[in-house]
């Protein structure tokens, strides 16, 4: 009788461990010592030791995470216990450095033989680059930081990715060929998997790592499962794209906590503004920031008391766009006064303060720096 698998049974297998799956490994008695050592090294890095497949130069753990043997050689055995409770978004301790995270280049030509996967990868690149107020920017380019490739993986895997190392993103994402995968995926499911795998290359762990029994001891591991500040503490996030075991889910967008996690781990850089005065003119300087364009805003505030009572308000004295450091402002003149005060008698008074706002503009948002302006005409 021909052995057949129903979609329900396939889904059950896929939903065990990640965007890919839990593929059990059999161990021969002669190799028991070596396999036990490998398991300890994997566990020392914060992953499940019972979900390891050895591919020679690298291993795959938890279904879709690729670790090199070089990474395993640095592992120290983690003590028992100390696991954190179930929480939401998590990262590894290995993250992409700045400004590299704003300059990630990928090569998707390795997916050309399966255009649906290639299109999904390209769309996923754009989605990660559009997370509001996150510094993540990914484009196609060469030399590539992340290379997509097709492979013939276990039937119950959709794809697998590698972790960041040395400040660079994980270098590889391998997609299971359509003739090797044991279940059908539509384009929205492919997109879900591609967004998920790119998340791993950025250092995001499975949101539901605890429910999947993925081991962790952050005090003694080099990878770890680090709770991302600001994301809720318990209860799970069923909408997170980084949940493991969801290869059959269709793309439904980043959850609010996914977005919070991205901008927490990879926030937009904040400029640092300094103001001096040369030949009577304000002289503004700030360090350059990769990917930013700058706008200088002249600002003032007013507060006081008149016949109608107390009042306050802010105003603009002009905006200068697309400026670069250093910048000499000829629109204001140095007087030595950052604040002016006028006592008009009978309880009436007026105070004005002057300052600059430096706005750093990025594709996904803006950040600001402030400095006093000693230009008050008192």
> What is the model's pLDDT at position 111?
98
* Phi and psi torsions of 101, nearest 5°: -65, -20
> What is the model's pLDDT at position 50?
61
For tokens 């009042």, the residue is 311
For 1-5, 257-261, 371-375, which range has the lowest pLDDT when averaged over its residues?
Answer: 1-5
Kindly give the residue spans of alpha helices, DSSP state H, lying in 95-240.
115-128, 187-201
Residue 54 burial by Cβ neighbours in a 10 Å radius (0-12, 13-18, 19+): middle
Relative orientation angle of helices 115-128 and 187-201, to the nearest 10 degrees: 50
Residue 345 pLDDT level (bands cut at 50, 70, 90): confident
> What is the model's pLDDT at position 44?
57
Q: Above pLDDT 70, what percent of the chain?
A: 72
Kindly give the residue spans of alpha helices, DSSP state H, lying in the chain.
7-14, 32-44, 69-73, 115-128, 187-201, 256-265
Total count of residues recorded for the chain: 378
Q: What is the dihedral of CA 37, 40, 157, 131, to 10 degrees?
A: -140
For tokens 């380019």, the residue is 141
For the chain, what is the mean pLDDT? 81
Residue 244 or residue 195, greater confidence:
195
Residue 53 pLDDT level (bands cut at 50, 70, 90): confident
* Phi and psi torsions of 252, nearest 5°: -130, 15
> What is the model's pLDDT at position 219?
33
Task: Read off the pLDDT of each residue in 84-94 and give the average, rounded to a whole number.
Answer: 49
Residue 23 has pLDDT above 70, yes or no: no
Residues with Cβ within 8 Å of 223's Cβ and at least 6 positions away in sequence, in order, are: 45, 46, 47, 92, 93, 94, 163
Q: Give residue limits of the domains in the chain.
A: 7-265, 274-372
> What is the model's pLDDT at position 81?
28
Residue 343 pLDDT level (bands cut at 50, 70, 90): very high
For tokens 């010592």, the residue is 33
What are the DSSP calls for 333-359, one per residue?
Answer: ---S-SEEEEEEETTEEEEEEEEEEEE
Q: What is the pTM of this model?
A: 0.74
> What is the model's pLDDT at position 84?
26
Task: Read off the pLDDT of each residue in 227-241 and give the average, rounded to a whole number.
Answer: 75
For 32-46, 237-251, 357-371, which range has the lowest pLDDT when averaged over its residues?
Answer: 32-46
What distance in Å separates the CA atoms of residue 220 and residue 41, rounded to the nearest whole number?
Answer: 12
Residue 210 has pLDDT above 60, yes or no: yes
> How big is the CA angle at 154 (ends 148 and 159), to the nearest 5 degrees?
30
Residue 73 pLDDT level (bands cut at 50, 70, 90): low
Rg (CA), the chain: 27
Residue 205 pLDDT level (bands cut at 50, 70, 90): confident
> How big is the CA angle at 45 (ends 40 and 50), to the nearest 5 degrees?
50
Strands 226-227 and 104-107: what pairing? unpaired
Q: Cis peptide leading into 143, omega within 30 of 0?
A: yes
What distance in Å separates the CA atoms of residue 76 and residue 84, rounded to the nearest whole number?
Answer: 19
Task: Read off the pLDDT of each residue in 96-116 and give the average, rounded to a whole number.
Answer: 97
> What is the model's pLDDT at position 307?
86
> What is the model's pLDDT at position 311?
92
> What is the model's pLDDT at position 300?
96
Residue 316 has pLDDT above 70, yes or no: yes
For tokens 């050592």, the residue is 37
Residue 64 has pLDDT above 70, yes or no: no
For the segment 137-192, what is each residue's pLDDT rounded down to a tens digit?
999 999 999 999 999 998 888 999 998 999 999 999 999 999 999 889 999 999 99
> What is the model's pLDDT at position 63?
58
Residue 62 has pLDDT above 80, yes or no: no
Residue 25 has pLDDT above 80, yes or no: no
> What is the model's pLDDT at position 190?
97
Instruction: Express the helix, strand and coil content of the chain in percent, nearest 5 each.
Output: 20, 30, 50
> What is the model's pLDDT at position 45?
55
243 neighbors 15 (Cβ within 8 angstroms): no
> What is the model's pLDDT at position 344?
85
Task: Read off the pLDDT of each residue in 360-367 and give the average, rounded to a whole number.
Answer: 98
> So what CATH class is 7-265?
alpha beta
> What is the model's pLDDT at position 120?
98
């Amino acid at each position: 009788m021909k052995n057949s698998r129903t979609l329900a049974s396939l889904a059950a297998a896929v939903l065990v461990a990640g965007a890919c799956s839990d593929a059990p490994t059999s161990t021969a008695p002669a190799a028991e010592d070596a396999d036990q050592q490998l398991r300890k090294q994997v566990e020392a890095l914060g992953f499940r030791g019972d979900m390891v497949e050895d591919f020679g130069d690298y291993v795959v753990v938890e279904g879709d995470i690729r670790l090199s043997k070089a990474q395993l050689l640095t592992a120290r055995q983690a003590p028992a216990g100390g696991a954190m409770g179930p929480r939401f978004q998590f990262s590894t301790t290995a993250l992409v450095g700045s400004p590299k995270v704003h300059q990630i280049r990928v090569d998707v030509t390795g997916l050309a033989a399966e255009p649906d996967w290639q299109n999904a990868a390209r769309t996923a690149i754009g989605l990660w680059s559009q997370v509001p107020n996150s510094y993540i920017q990914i484009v196609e380019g060469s030399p590539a930081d992340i290379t997509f490739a097709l492979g013939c993986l276990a039937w119950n895997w959709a794809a697998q990715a590698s972790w960041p190392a040395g400040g660079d993103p994980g270098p590889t994402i391998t997609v299971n060929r359509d003739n090797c995968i044991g279940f059908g995926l539509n384009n929205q499911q492919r997109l879900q998997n591609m967004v998920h795998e790119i998340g791993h290359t950025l250092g995001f762990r499975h949101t539901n790592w605890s429910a999947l029994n993925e081991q962790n001891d952050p005090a003694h591991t080099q990878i770890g499962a680090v709770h991302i500040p600001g994301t809720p503490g318990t209860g799970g996030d069923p909408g997170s794209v980084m949940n493991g075991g969801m290869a059959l889910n269709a793309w439904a967008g980043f959850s609010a906590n996914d977005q919070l996690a991205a901008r927490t781990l990879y926030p937009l850089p904040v400029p640092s503004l300094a103001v001096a005065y040369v030949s009577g003119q304000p002289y503004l300087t700030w360090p350059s920031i990769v990917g930013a364009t700058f706008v200088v805003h002249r600002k003032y505030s007013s507060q006081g008391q008149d016949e109608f009572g107390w009042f306050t308000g802010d105003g603009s004295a002009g905006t200068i766009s697309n400026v670069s450091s250093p910048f000499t402002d000829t629109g204001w003149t140095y007087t030595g006064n950052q604040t002016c005060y006028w006592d008009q008698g009978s309880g009436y008074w007026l105070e004005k303060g002057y300052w600059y706002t430096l706005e750093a503009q990025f594709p996904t948002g803006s950040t600001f720096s402030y400095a006093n302006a000693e230009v008050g005409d008192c």
